A and B are shown apart, each in its own frame.
Chain A
């Protein structure tokens, strides 16, 4: 399982890539692998406001429907339009072309409640035991 070193993680298997005042958000390799073939993603609209650890997007696979929670509070400034026709991008490239939204971080202190790559690796290792 792949855990890039330059991202922050949540317990619900979302990742955030911080770039100045914005954060790009997606689901982790572990999450896409557990879900299996992803068939639908309900991406929030630009301008929507999401709150940390609250509903941000809906992801469905052949087997299951699940929710994606926002790693930060903030306004959605970009949404990945490719995902409506190609949700499988999340399976193929969870950390790159499978990104879901970019949000403008409202409170950068919230990063303290996210996991570092090392912490997330440890967390996933325990889940798999």
Chain B
């Protein structure tokens, strides 16, 4: 439940209001859902450049000796194997292999890291990390003072070069650098949640409004709400924490094996190894509807007339023009097989497919 008295606001809330955004609470934060319309914003991001207020997300700075394995044990990605100035996606698990959070880790130096986590889970992540970290490792929660903007879309690079210099061109996918923007030395990474060429900019809160305004002065850039952020990530088949993955889901069930380094020890590894030997109680599938009608959260999934699971995310795909979704099923259903998605009098024919749904993203070029 959301406590009305404790709804959090980002430093940009007045900017959103002046842009006539529709606001709603998400993960305890008052956030812009849309400005002009979800479909317009979605298509603009795929074609030009979209600007997202992501100040609600959490950031931690960690000082750790790479030889000391306590921080390494907290996450599934191989930290020691990361080169300085690279980013890596992975999970923080509990002892049962359940996902406490999914996160991005930045290697700032040999001994310094930044972890970027979901908004609603920031507090829980901090408690979990403090429980397992030893005195030699230093953890600082910088979420309250560090703002974050995402600039995503095929024109994002050209826009950012004007603000941060030609060095932006050198950033490869999943790497970052320090750039001087508005007199501040800030981290900019070539990462994102849309499947498009794009960047995440970490700016101290004092200058985040200025950065937002400056970026919006460019005609190629428009503000994008969480509504389009959701359809953009869904078209890529990216999971959303709290909806597609949670503490009761393991990375193996969520098709996240690619983000696990089996060559090291981490919390939850014994549980995952055991899961790998047996059969998974559930597994994620991706599907496309045969019409514009969209599957929705909690619609049942049926295969050969048997109920085998439920939809976790579903929507009309603005890029493709039909319904798409993902969900968990109790038995294997191969790509190409027909399923039915049902809720009350609604019944949607769908076909299991591989991800991503949208294959023309500019992210990796």
Contacts and interface: CB of A to CB of B under 8 A. Distances in A.
B292 A36 contact: no
Given A39-B292, A65-B296, A87-B292, A58 B37 contact: no
A36 B38 contact: yes
B37 A60 contact: no
Interface in B29-43: 33-34, 37-40
Interface of B: 22, 33-34, 37-40, 227, 231, 291-294, 296, 315-316, 318, 323, 345-346
Given A40-B293, A42-B293, A62 B346 contact: no
A91 B33 CA distance: 18
A37 B346 contact: no
- Majority DSSP secondary structure for residues of B touching A: mixed
B294 A40 contact: yes
B32 to A, nearest CB: 13
A54 to B, nearest CB: 12
B24 to A, nearest CB: 10
Interface string A38-53: 0110100000000000
A63 B316 CA distance: 9
B293 A62 contact: no
Nearest to B34: A36
A37 B292 contact: no
Interface of A: 36-37, 39-40, 42, 55, 58, 60, 62-63, 65, 87-88, 91
Contacts of A60: 292-294, 316
A36 B316 CA distance: 13
Given A36-B34, A37-B38, A40-B291, A62 B316 contact: yes
B346 A58 contact: yes
A85 B321 CA distance: 10
8 contacts: A37-B37, A37-B38, A40-B293, A40-B323, A42-B293, A58-B346, A62-B316, A62-B318
